[in-house]
Structure 1
Amino acid sequence: MHCPRLKFLLPTARQHSLFRAFDNEQFLSLSGSARVHEMKAGDTLYLQEAEIDRFYLIIQGVVKLYRVSCDGREIVLNVFTDKECVGESEIFTDKHTHSTNAAIVENATLLSFSSQAYKLLLQQSSACCYGVLVEIAARLQEKQNEIEALSQQSATDRVIRFLLSQVKDTDNKKDSVVIKLPLAKRLIAARLSMQPETFSRVITDFKRKGLMDVKGSQLNINCLADLRQMV
């Protein structure tokens, strides 16, 4: 939908790697197709096999990609948060329908753009197309490095590094800290490339060892230094 907030949100999109290769005139042209979406947790962004006509930039919020297994289980494939795009890779494939479902996990503000308008701009400018390819290649390399790093870490290491990343800068020198998990445990597990049961088992082990106390999504880390030494 059109929204007065659109002009205030477009500068955020302008800084994203998918748009940096465009000059101002090209980005202005693409902005004509932009829409703002205010969505609530549980809302469906798009369904598997639905026609691909737009891609999305998350301004704020959390979106999950998932499929449903034959026995009805939801399989979370990835989780995206602020300043990340959803559905952009599919506009470059030969398929005309989405290969996954996408749903809102936490209330979200998103910007969407016409897939067709985006592709048309690339077709009209080889320089722009090359610039976007460079950006995409850099993102793929970054993702490969991330996957390689994860593959070399144990499940315990992954969880510790994630928990430490949630500690506020102002709390880094404290002996004990309290952190709140930003997502449901199964979604965190998906981001860490592990099963939800594995994530829960690691947290339970930390609790058993006295490293932390757990109250729902709130974790009281009793000794931050001890946790750091385990990495």
Structure 2
Amino acid sequence: MAGTKIKVEEFLNKLPLFNEIPPEELKQIAESVTESHVGKGDIIFRRGDPCVGFHIVIFGQVKLAFTSPDGNEKVVEIIGPGHSFGEALMFMEKPYIVAAQALADTLLLHVPKQAVFDELERDTKFARKMLAGLSRRLHGLISDVEAYSLSSGAQRVIGYLLKSDAQHDGDQMTLAVSKTVLASRLNLTPEHFSRILHDLAAKKLIAVDGRNITILDIEKLRSYEGR
């Protein structure tokens, strides 16, 4: 993908955050945007690095995570195509509090904070959209904390499976990331995550083949999640 070139202005125009900006202003923003191709496993930024804008994923996946003093990694979020990260710290003018690493070959756009600040001063609609995006991110993080605090490990795993496109008996899904990364995202150890998949398979609710999972009994999965 190293030779891939995109039309930045056209891509930005498709994103909800930018799609109502007048063409001449969108062009100005696009001219300040930089592209970066990041290989699988490469670090995009480290905790403590200065935040001078925010990133948008064009293709690929990015993991946001931090490492505890004892060396264990906690995955905070997994960012896919069309989604962004880094906005909150950009506004706070604080360094990154997590590290970002590419989980696959990834193409990123970096929107500098000055371009964002200039547009915020020009357009109240843009400001509202930016606030809405940050609010959704906060709501998602609060939902995660609630799930970790009130839901069992099995409920968290089932909840993740039920958010996929596999919604009927016989439907299949492929885990988008490794089981280790997904376990950390769900606040589980890899061993606990594997045990849960094994138990669900033993109950004939799912079938597991590597990263491929087949839903065998969607109704029992739903009732199990609600316990």
Q: Write the mapping of 1:41-80 to structure 2, written as runs, cut at 5 A.
A: 41-80=40-79
Counterpart-to-counterpart distance in 2, 1:65 and 1:209: 33
The alpha-carbon deviation at position 229 of structure 1 amounts to 4.2
The match for 1:32 is: 31
Counterpart-to-counterpart distance in 2, 1:57 and 1:127: 21
The alpha-carbon deviation at position 104 of structure 1 amounts to 0.1
- The TM-score with structure 1 as length reference comes to 0.78
| Matching residue's letter, 1:161 | G
- Give the gaps of 5 or more residues in structure 1: none
Change (3 A) 1:177 1:92: same
Counterpart-to-counterpart distance in 2, 1:141 and 1:18: 17
**What's the Cα RMSD here?**
3.0
The alpha-carbon deviation at position 188 of structure 1 amounts to 2.1
Identity of aligned residues (%): 25
The match for 2:157 is: 159
CA contact (8 A) 1:63 1:81 kept: yes
Secondary structure of the equivalent of 2:76?
Answer: strand
The alpha-carbon deviation at position 29 of structure 1 amounts to 0.8
The alpha-carbon deviation at position 138 of structure 1 amounts to 4.8
Q: Deviations over 1:45-81 (max 9, x none)?
A: 1122222233211122110112222233322222111
CA contact (8 A) 1:177 1:224 kept: no
Counterpart-to-counterpart distance in 2, 1:218 and 1:4: 29
CA contact (8 A) 1:62 1:82 kept: yes
The alpha-carbon deviation at position 167 of structure 1 amounts to 4.1
- The TM-score with structure 2 as length reference comes to 0.79
Change (3 A) 1:22 1:138: farther
Secondary structure of the equivalent of 2:32?
Answer: coil
Query: Quick check: 1:135 aligned with 2:132?
Result: yes
The match for 2:198 is: 204
| Matching residue's letter, 1:135 | A
The match for 1:105 is: 103
The match for 1:125 is: 122
Counterpart-to-counterpart distance in 2, 1:48 and 1:149: 25
- Give the gaps of 5 or more residues in structure 2: none
Number of matched pairs: 222
Secondary structure of the equivalent of 1:207?
Answer: helix
